[in-house]
Protein backbone atom coordinates (compact mmCIF):
# COMPACT_ATOMS: atom_id res chain seq x y z
CA UNK A 1 0.00 0.00 0.00
CA UNK A 2 1.43 3.34 -0.98
CA UNK A 3 1.66 6.34 1.26
CA UNK A 4 -0.84 8.30 -0.86
CA UNK A 5 -3.40 5.48 -0.71
CA UNK A 6 -3.00 5.22 3.07
CA UNK A 7 -3.40 8.99 3.45
CA UNK A 8 -6.57 8.89 1.38
CA UNK A 9 -8.04 6.12 3.52
CA UNK A 10 -7.22 7.97 6.75
CA UNK A 11 -8.87 11.15 5.42
CA UNK A 12 -12.01 9.21 4.49
CA UNK A 13 -12.22 7.65 7.95
CA UNK A 14 -11.73 11.02 9.63
CA UNK A 15 -14.47 12.54 7.46
CA UNK A 16 -16.85 9.72 8.45
CA UNK A 17 -16.02 10.25 12.13
CA UNK A 18 -16.78 13.96 11.81
CA UNK A 19 -20.18 13.18 10.25
CA UNK A 20 -20.96 10.79 13.11
CA UNK A 21 -20.32 13.54 15.66
CA UNK A 22 -22.94 15.78 14.02
CA UNK A 23 -25.62 13.24 14.89
CA UNK A 24 -25.26 14.04 18.60
CA UNK A 25 -25.66 17.79 18.28
CA UNK A 26 -28.74 19.38 19.80
CA UNK A 27 -31.62 19.77 17.36
CA UNK A 28 -33.55 22.62 18.97
CA UNK A 29 -31.68 23.97 21.99
CA UNK A 30 -33.96 25.76 24.44
CA UNK A 31 -37.16 24.39 22.92
CA UNK A 32 -38.86 24.15 26.33
CA UNK A 33 -37.60 27.41 27.78
CA UNK A 34 -39.03 29.30 24.80
CA UNK A 35 -42.54 27.95 25.47
CA UNK A 36 -44.21 30.37 27.89
CA UNK A 37 -47.14 28.00 28.51
CA UNK A 38 -44.83 25.68 30.48
CA UNK A 39 -43.67 28.37 32.91
CA UNK A 40 -45.22 29.30 36.22
CA UNK A 41 -45.52 32.75 37.77
CA UNK A 42 -41.88 32.69 38.85
CA UNK A 43 -40.72 32.10 35.27
CA UNK A 44 -39.49 28.53 35.83
CA UNK A 45 -40.70 25.49 33.94
CA UNK A 46 -43.22 23.57 36.05
CA UNK A 47 -43.34 19.77 35.88
CA UNK A 48 -47.15 19.68 36.17
CA UNK A 49 -47.48 21.90 33.10
CA UNK A 50 -44.94 19.74 31.26
CA UNK A 51 -46.98 16.61 32.05
CA UNK A 52 -50.18 18.31 30.93
CA UNK A 53 -48.59 19.43 27.66
CA UNK A 54 -47.17 15.96 26.96
CA UNK A 55 -50.50 14.23 27.57
CA UNK A 56 -52.30 16.63 25.23
CA UNK A 57 -49.84 16.13 22.35
CA UNK A 58 -50.97 13.89 19.50
CA UNK A 59 -47.50 13.26 18.02
CA UNK A 60 -45.56 11.63 20.87
CA UNK A 61 -42.51 11.12 18.67
CA UNK A 62 -41.84 14.76 17.86
CA UNK A 63 -38.75 16.59 19.03
CA UNK A 64 -40.78 18.63 21.52
CA UNK A 65 -42.44 15.51 22.97
CA UNK A 66 -39.04 13.90 23.43
CA UNK A 67 -37.78 17.03 25.18
CA UNK A 68 -40.81 17.03 27.48
CA UNK A 69 -40.28 13.37 28.32
CA UNK A 70 -36.60 14.00 28.99
CA UNK A 71 -37.52 16.89 31.31
CA UNK A 72 -39.94 14.70 33.26
CA UNK A 73 -37.41 11.86 33.59
CA UNK A 74 -34.71 14.21 34.83
CA UNK A 75 -36.77 16.29 37.24
CA UNK A 76 -39.18 13.68 38.59
Q: What is the pLDDT along the chain (76 residues), one digit of tens a residue?
A: 789 888 999 999 888 877 666 666 777 788 999 999 999 999 999 999 999 999 999 998 888 999 999 999 998 7
Would you state the pLDDT for residue 15? 82
Q: Which residues contact 57 (CB under 8 A, 6 or more apart)?
A: 64, 65, 68
Q: Are 40 and 49 in contact (CB under 8 A)?
A: yes
Would you state the pLDDT for residue 16? 81
| Rounded Cα distance, 15 and 17, in Å | 5
Q: Is 35 helix (H, G, I), strand (E, B) or coil?
A: coil
Amino acid sequence: MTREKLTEIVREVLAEMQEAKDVHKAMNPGILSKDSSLKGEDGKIKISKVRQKLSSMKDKGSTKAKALRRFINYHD
